[in-house]
Copies of this chain bind each other. A is one copy, B any other.
Amino acid sequence: MNKQPIGFLDSGVGGLTVVKEVMKLLPDEEIYYIGDSARNPYGPRPLSDVLEFTIQLANLLVDQGIKLLVIACNTATVAALEVLQQRLDIPVIGVIESGTRAAVASSQNKKIGVIGTQGTIQSNEYEKQILKLLEDAEVQSVACPQFVSIVEKHQYEDELAKSVVSKELEPFLGSEMDTLVLGCTHYPLLQSIIQDYFGENLTLIDPGVETAIQVQNVLSKKDMLNKATEGSKQHIFYTSGPADKFEKIAKHWLKRSDIQVQHIAVEELQKYGR
């Protein structure tokens, strides 16, 4: 099954930040991706809804024959990681464990910030995971509900983005943290604005980087890496939203022109339910 694609799911375009890292590290792998932009954002929804949607997306990708699934969305990881690990016969990787390990490795003063959607922050999952690894860490978690919409609307390079970022990050005023986890896969698209806001002394953690390493490790251990460097590859991107909007962001973010995007309606996704 080495030539089978790796599957990625997300509430929209955010998971592309994880895809980008995996493409860098594993250029010979084929990627199948589904972004649920029509039902985005997931952050403010009850976790039971997020669980249901995530199961649909996962089943669709499994039907396409993926060999490994990345839940490239923090909110969906909180809601569904354990259930999908239990149900599916393929390895399932979330983004929170990776982000936690990178943050704990980076921080010198053990003061760590976390930003994410409402669902991720309310679940307190990052703080729990960080405290498991670093008993005396001080964790400050802040929900930034508007960031996802800005990214989905392709406004992440606008002047508006700067003012929204300044406003939502205000709770960190006076914080002594030396490390901040971008606890939502949409946020790396705002990375430079966030870095400008805090200055260079703060280390930003993009869990996508560590997740890509974990994908490599798992596939390598199971001897499932695609070793055929030759031959054509066909990356497929599905979105429940408008294909043209998705394609624009994907081409820009992944810096590739060979992006093919297919629209899939929510009614179709619902057929892949429990």
A-to-B contact residues, CB < 8 Å: 46-48, 51, 79-80, 82-83, 86-87, 122-124, 127-128, 131-132, 135-136, 139, 141, 274
Residues of B within 8 A of A274 (CB): 135-136
Chain B residue, CB-CB nearest to A87: B135
Q: A274-B135, A274-B136 are in contact. Are A51 and B127 (CB under 8 A)?
A: yes
Residues of B within 8 A of A127 (CB): 48, 51
CB distance from A51 to the nearest CB of B (A): 7
With A46-B124, A48-B139, A83-B128 known, 7 other A-B pairs at CB within 8 A are A47-B122, A48-B127, A51-B128, A51-B131, A82-B128, A86-B132, A135-B274
Chain B residue, CB-CB nearest to A123: B123
Q: Are A47 and B123 in contact (CB under 8 A)?
A: yes
Q: Are B124 and A51 in contact (CB under 8 A)?
A: yes
Q: Are A83 and B122 in contact (CB under 8 A)?
A: no
Q: List 13 A-B contacts (CB under 8 A).
A: A47-B122, A48-B124, A48-B127, A48-B139, A48-B141, A79-B124, A79-B128, A80-B128, A82-B132, A83-B131, A87-B135, A122-B122, A135-B274
Residues of B within 8 A of A86 (CB): 131-132
CA distance A38 to B144 in the complex (A): 32
